[in-house]
Amino acid sequence: MEKFIKHTGTAVPLRRSNVDTDQIIPAVYLKRVTRSGFEDGLFSAWRNDPEFVLNKPEFAKGTILVAGVDFGTGSSREHAVWALQNYGFKAVISSRFADIFRGNSLKGGLLTVIIEQSDVEAIWAAIEADPTTSVTVDLETRTVCYNNVILPFAIDDYTRWRLMEGLDDIGLTFKNLDSIASFEKSRTSLKPATLPIRA
């Protein structure tokens, strides 16, 4: 996984709450068996609307999405994270994310940043007033900065370290194979197994 330490770019205001993962990428786009090429499905229903923010030339190059509350609700499809990344987003800012989406994003290196709703509104106002506003998401200092405004955000130390080092969880867990093996020895035999098949 690519390391995430700090990203500076322009931001896209998505003034909607409860953007579910069916909106981020509808099910009909989930038939692919790869991790790439999902950008064409990103917000596909809304992209037919010329007024939709991603269709506005001034926001076309944004790399930070600033969304309303409860972003990423619904389906667990990690394709939602891939679609945002494939499109070019490096970070999403919101006042609240759905649990599964947030977990998926932080596994895959898309930084999800939680700040107060009033601060989200202030960023919306700033980037709508000037779409070239430079926004920096700094994982090292745990801050979002724009126009001399500095907003701290919380992220647990472990996830921050993992993202900054670009480490994937499986590699880390493989260091604990002994613990897994000894846990397996102590598991109760009452637990079911899928094999051998019982009809």
Partner 1 sequence: MCNDEGAETAMGKTLAEKIWSEHIVRAVDGEPDLLYIDLHLIHEVTSPQAFDGLRLAGRAVRRPDLTIATEDHNVPTLNIDKPIADPVSKLQVDTLRSNCAEFGVRIHSLGDKDQGVVHVVGPQLGLTQPGMTIVCGDSHTSTHGAFGALAFGIGTSEVEHVLATQTLPLARPKTMAINVEGALKTGVTSKDIILAIIAKIGTGGGQGFVIEYRGSAIRALSMESRMTVCNMSIEAGARAGLIAPDQTTFDYIKGKPHAPEDFDAAVKYWSTLFTDSDAKFDVEVDLNADDLEPFVTWGTNPGQGASLSSNVPNPAEIKDPEARGAAERALVYMGLEAGMPLKKIAIDTVFLGSCTNGRIEDLRAAAEVVKGKKIASTLRMLVVPGSARVRLEAEAEGLDKVFIDAGAEWRNAGCSMCLGMNPDQLAVGERSASTSNRNFEGRQGKGGRTHLVSPLVAAATALRGTLSSPADL
- Hey, what are 149's tokens? 């405004």
Residue at 84: amino acid letter = L
43 binds partner 1 (CB under 8 A): no
3-state helix, strand, coil in the chain (%, to 5): 40, 20, 45
Q: Which stretch binds partner 1 (CB under 8 A): 5-13, 56-64, 78-86, 129-137?
A: 78-86
How far is 85 from 197, CA to CA, in rounded Å? Answer: 40
Q: Which stretch binds partner 1 (CB under 8 A): 59-67, 126-134, 138-146, 173-181?
A: 173-181
Q: Which stretch binds partner 1 (CB under 8 A): 2-10, 95-103, 131-139, 147-155?
A: 95-103
Q: Which is nearer to partner 1, 132 or 184 (CB)?
A: 184
How far is 97 from 31, CA to CA, in rounded Å? Answer: 25
Selected from 20, 39, 119, 128, the binder of partner 1 by CB under 8 A is: 20
Q: Are 68 and 24 in contact (CB under 8 A)?
A: no
- Hey, what are 119's tokens? 């601060």
167 binds partner 1 (CB under 8 A): no
How far is 158 from 156, CA to CA, in rounded Å? Answer: 6
How far is 75 from 80, CA to CA, in rounded Å? Answer: 9
Selected from 42, 83, 98, 123, the binder of partner 1 by CB under 8 A is: 98
Residues 100-119 that bind partner 1 (CB under 8 A): 100, 103-104, 107-108, 117
Q: Which is nearer to partner 1, 90 or 102 (CB)?
A: 102
Query: Distance between alpha carbon 133 and the CA centroid of its chain, in Å?
Result: 22
17 binds partner 1 (CB under 8 A): yes
Selected from 81, 91, 137, 139, the binder of partner 1 by CB under 8 A is: 81
Size of the residue set binding partner 1 (CB under 8 A):
62
